[in-house]
Amino acid sequence: MSTINAAARDSSVIAWRNLRNVLRTPGAMVTSLVQPIMFVLLLAFVFGGTLGGAQYRMFLIGGILAQTLTFNASFTAVYLAKDLQLGLIDRFRSLPMSRGAVILGRVCADLATSLISIAVTLLCGLAIGWRISNGPGPALLALGLLLLFTFSVSWVGAVIALTARSVEVAQSLGLIWLFPVTFISGAFVSVQSMPGPLRAIAEWNPVTAVATSVRRLFGNRAPEGFAAPTGWPADNALLYAFLCCLAIIAVFAPLAIGQYRRISKR
């Protein structure tokens, strides 16, 4: 059996183990289910009235999807750190299996659970009046982009877990970077409304590119009064979003696997 086939087989076994663990402890999914509902209701009805009402609710869902999937990276960090802390990773390392299978299995399992978060967010959107205007083809492309995005940011969570190596530290580090990344972006407001330095960061933020791309693919327009974003990232949002996802994977996947190997040698 080739190295790639062996790694794929080992990763699928670990992913299935992680998914079964979620099924046995459904409480672990509560946060990923409640969080998108909470943000949809808060932003749509508490702040949405001053930002565009029904039009803002159409605009909001793309941002909620990008934010929710970014936050899901913290689950990767916490659960991988938990396996490290309980000694399960030491047992996996003693088995004749691919070195990257443990991390890839964790990331793939979290990719599957992210589908539930996407479904919950879309159902909440439908409940508040959100609709798809561009047909099934672009909508499927949007779904593919969202899955690639959550797959990429999960590698960031894996690096955090393997660096922290404890649940408490991983949980703290896994949340610190999430709030500025998701809120200094075009997920919920027009980046043109931000002051110069923040606007520049928000324009090139991958979360902005993903949220903008998903809105365009769903056919959701910004509310009246929202200044249209300008510049290369805005004009080529879909391309930039895919490039960002690939760049995140290219940087953080080797870092995670390298960190795992260094731990294995200790």
Q: Write the pLDDT tens digit of every residue in 25-50.
A: 666 667 777 888 888 888 888 876 66
pLDDT at 265: 56
Give the tens place of pLDDT for each residue, 122-155: 999 999 889 998 889 999 999 999 999 999 999 9
Global pTM value: 0.89
Question: Using CB atoms within 10 A of its CB, is residue 8 exposed (0-12), middle (13-18) or buried (19+)?
Answer: middle
Burial annotation 51-73 (CB, 10 A radius, 16+ → b, else e)? bbeebbbbbbbbbbbbbbbbbbb
Rounded distance between C-alpha atoms, residue 104 and residue 3, angstroms: 14
Give the tens place of pLDDT for each residue, 148-205: 999 999 999 999 988 886 788 887 877 788 889 999 999 998 898 888 889 999 999 9
